[in-house]
Amino acid sequence: MSAIEDLVTELSRLPTIGKKSALRLTYHLLKQPPEQSRRLAQVLGTLTERVRLCERCFNLTEEQPCTICKDPRRDAATICVVEEASDIAAVERTGEYRGVYHVLGGRLSPLDGIGPDELTVTALVQRVGAGGIREVIVATNPKLEGEATALYVQEQLSSLGVLVSRIALGMPVGGDLEYADGVTIAQAIASRRQMR
Amino acid sequence: MRLLESDSLVLHSFDYRETSRIVRIATRDAGVLSVIARGARRPKSPFGSAIDLFTSGVAHVRVNPARDLHTLTGFDATRSRSELAGSLARFTAASAVAELCLRFANEDDSGRVHDAATSVLDAIGVATPDDVPAIALAGAWRVVAELGFAPSLDQCATCHADLVADEPVTFDHRAGGALCARCARLGPRGRLFPAEARETLRAWLDGTESALGDSSTRRAHQRLLREFLEEHLADGKPLRAFATWEAQSFSHAPAEHA
């Protein structure tokens, strides 16, 4: 296999990159000064060497524990459980949450070969069981797999005496009732809250 | 290119590129289809939550006869099955049934897979965790029977001799069912199949409920079904949802107090 084919094959393994895009990127790199490609290769090498999973929350980090876990201004008694490390960035963008996180590494999806043993639920149970945790907020995605994962997490934590809550599900902010689908409206009604 | 409008059940879905999803649906009129739902991951997608796993509805599909991937232009959800997420037992069992439909079904099953899978998922959705294995196993065997793969239980799968009803026999996956004593001796491949297990399987294939006894009986039936499917699935790929279902049944109790 040629060097060009090698790179096209590797690039096309990336999400959203098909064979055509991979070929386009390969020719783009070949047109650039060699230094730029070397720099890219170096950065990729450094990335895999330096970035690890946080041993406490399984976030991606270059230091142990990660910056969120070791930040003394954060509320270490509240854990937000998310599916992927990228979900942390989404919650952080809100600027509303000051607790810490736990990354499950996916969601239950037996059809894709992901069962409880493929997730970090046991580590979460051990973390909560060690004490000092007041609340666990389960923020898995509001799909059936996400709900199954949330209920499994809740079941595993049920005997540990901590408050387990679920992020609210329902109408999106700025959405129109008229255009929402029936399942979303039903969820919103089921998750309604009292107005004070 | 033709337009298809059919009662459908979402069996599997996964993200495709930045904004789309590929969904595998069991339709009543065209068997199991792979369709692309363009833009389904956008926040204001017209699909909304309609194409969530195990949702029933009316699918609007632009069918391209020259391709294996068709285009989903709309999905009017009529029933979501959030109750299947209510316990790991239900969720993994439902996934195993979906995997069976995905792997066995084709585009010409006259809606049998759709109807069988829908009724099995509904039954699993209201079952207690203890009842889930029997209901899921019964449903899975019913799907197998609808697809024409039902094992032979009352006649020898090899020589077609009648078998005595209340005696243990040998079950040979490759032969396609129970064997008489003579054929079992000639090809010693199968496993012992007790009379009670044969009776239970017969009831399930007939569409009758039959409870399972202890956990070892349940485990034996799960293994029998998995081995049968593995034998008759030509592609050799592992049955991942089945493996998760079997593993889940025996190892995931809630954590004890620290």
Residue holding tokens 């970035």?
A: A51
Average confidence (pLDDT) over A39-54: 94
B66-122 per-position pLDDT tens digit: 888 999 999 998 998 999 999 999 999 999 999 999 988 776 667 888 999 999 999
Taking an 8 Å cut-off on Cβ atoms, the answer to whether A172 and B43 are in contact is yes
- Choose between A15 and B62: higher pLDDT: B62
B86 touching chain A per CB within 8 A: yes
Residue among B14, B85, B87 minimizing CB distance to A144: B85
Residue holding tokens 């199991």?
A: B32
Our CA-based measurement puts residue B60 at a distance from the nearest CA of chain A, in whole angstroms, of 16
- What residues pair up with A81 in beta bridges, in sequence order? A102, A138
Chain B residue with CA closest to A146: the answer is B85
A18-42 per-position pLDDT tens digit: 889 999 999 999 999 999 999 999 9
| Mutation site for A-interface testing, chosen from B80, B83, B239 by largest number of A Cβ within 10 Å | B80
CA dihedral A86, A92, A93, A97 (to 10 degrees): 140
The CATH label, of 3.30.450, 2.40.390, 1.10.10, 1.20.1440, for the domain at B84-150+192-250 is 1.20.1440
If we measure between CA atoms, which residue out of A6, A25, A4 comes closest to residue A16? A25
Whole-number pLDDT of residue A193: 86
Residue holding tokens 């959800």?
A: B77
Whole-number pLDDT of residue A153: 97
Our CA-based measurement puts residue A176 at a distance from the nearest CA of chain B, in whole angstroms, of 10
Whole-number pLDDT of residue B42: 83
* Cβ neighbours of residue B29 closer than 8 Å, sequence gap 6 or more: B4, B6, B7, B111
Average pLDDT, chain A: 93
Three-state secondary structure readout of B155-221: ECCCCCCECCCCCCEEEECCCCEEECHHHHHHCCCCEEECHHHHHHHHHHHCCCCCCCCCHHHHHHH
Rounded distance between C-alpha atoms, residue B179 and residue A124, angstroms: 50
Our CA-based measurement puts residue A161 at a distance from the nearest CA of chain B, in whole angstroms, of 8
Whole-number pLDDT of residue A91: 96
Taking contacts as CB-CB distances below 8 angstroms, the residues of chain A near B50 are 181, 183
Domain boundaries, chain B: 2-79, 84-150+192-250
Please give the structure tokens belonging to residue A114. 């992901």
pLDDT band at B127 (very low <50, low <70, confident <90, very high): very high
pTM above 0.90, yes or no: no
Whole-number pLDDT of residue A84: 97
Interface of B with A in 135-174 (CB under 8 A): none
The share of chain A scoring above pLDDT 70, in percent, equals 99
If we measure between CA atoms, which residue out of B188, B93, B194, B199 comes closest to residue B137? B93
Q: Is A7 exposed, middle or buried (0-12, 13-18, 19+ CB in 10 A)?
A: middle
Taking an 8 Å cut-off on Cβ atoms, the answer to whether A142 and B49 are in contact is yes
Residue among B77, B82, B255 minimizing CB distance to A182: B77
B79 touching chain A per CB within 8 A: no
Taking contacts as CB-CB distances below 8 angstroms, the residues of chain B near A117 are 247
The counts of H helices and E strands in chain A are 7, 6
A145-191 per-position pLDDT tens digit: 999 999 999 999 999 999 999 999 888 888 888 878 777 888 889 88
Do residues B25 and B10 lie in contact, with contact meaning Cβ atoms separated by under 8 Å?
yes
Taking contacts as CB-CB distances below 8 angstroms, the residues of chain B near A129 are 255, 258
Average pLDDT, chain B: 88
Taking an 8 Å cut-off on Cβ atoms, the answer to whether A144 and B81 are in contact is yes
**Is the predicted pLDDT of residue A67 greater than 60, yes or no?**
yes
For domain B2-79, give the CATH number: 2.40.50.140
Instruction: Please state which of the ranges B150-154, B207-211, B225-229 shows the lowest mean pLDDT.
Output: B207-211
B60 Cα distance to chain centroid: 24
B158-188 per-position pLDDT tens digit: 999 999 888 899 999 989 999 999 999 887 6
A151 touching chain B per CB within 8 A: yes
Peptide bond into A65 cis (omega under 30): yes
pLDDT band at B251 (very low <50, low <70, confident <90, very high): low
**Is the predicted pLDDT of residue A103 greater than 90, yes or no?**
yes
Q: Is B209 exposed, middle or buried (0-12, 13-18, 19+ CB in 10 A)?
A: exposed
**Alpha-carbon distances, residue B220 vs A40, B57, B91, B133, B228 (angstroms):** 54, 35, 20, 11, 12
| Mutation site for B-interface testing, chosen from A111, A126, A152 by largest number of B Cβ within 10 Å | A111
Whole-number pLDDT of residue B111: 85
Whole-number pLDDT of residue B250: 55
If we measure between CA atoms, which residue out of A111, A119, A117, A148 comes closest to residue B240? A111
Average confidence (pLDDT) over B123-132: 92
If we measure between CA atoms, which residue out of A141, A113, A116, A115 comes closest to residue B99? A113
Query: Residue type at B60?
Result: H
Instruction: Please state which of the ranges A47-61, A83-97, B9-23 shows the lowest mean pLDDT.
Output: B9-23
Whole-number pLDDT of residue B107: 66
**Is the predicted pLDDT of residue B148 greater than 90, yes or no?**
no
Please give the structure tokens belonging to residue A152. 């499994």
The share of chain A scoring above pLDDT 90, in percent, equals 82
DSSP string, A87-138: HHHHHHHHS---EEEEE-SS--BGGGTB-GGGSSHHHHHHHHHTS---EEEE
What domains are defined for chain A?
74-166 (3.40.1360.10)
ipTM of the complex: 0.84
Whole-number pLDDT of residue B256: 45
**Is the predicted pLDDT of residue B257 greater than 60, yes or no?**
no
pLDDT band at B225 (very low <50, low <70, confident <90, very high): very high
Do residues B212 and B218 lie in contact, with contact meaning Cβ atoms separated by under 8 Å?
yes
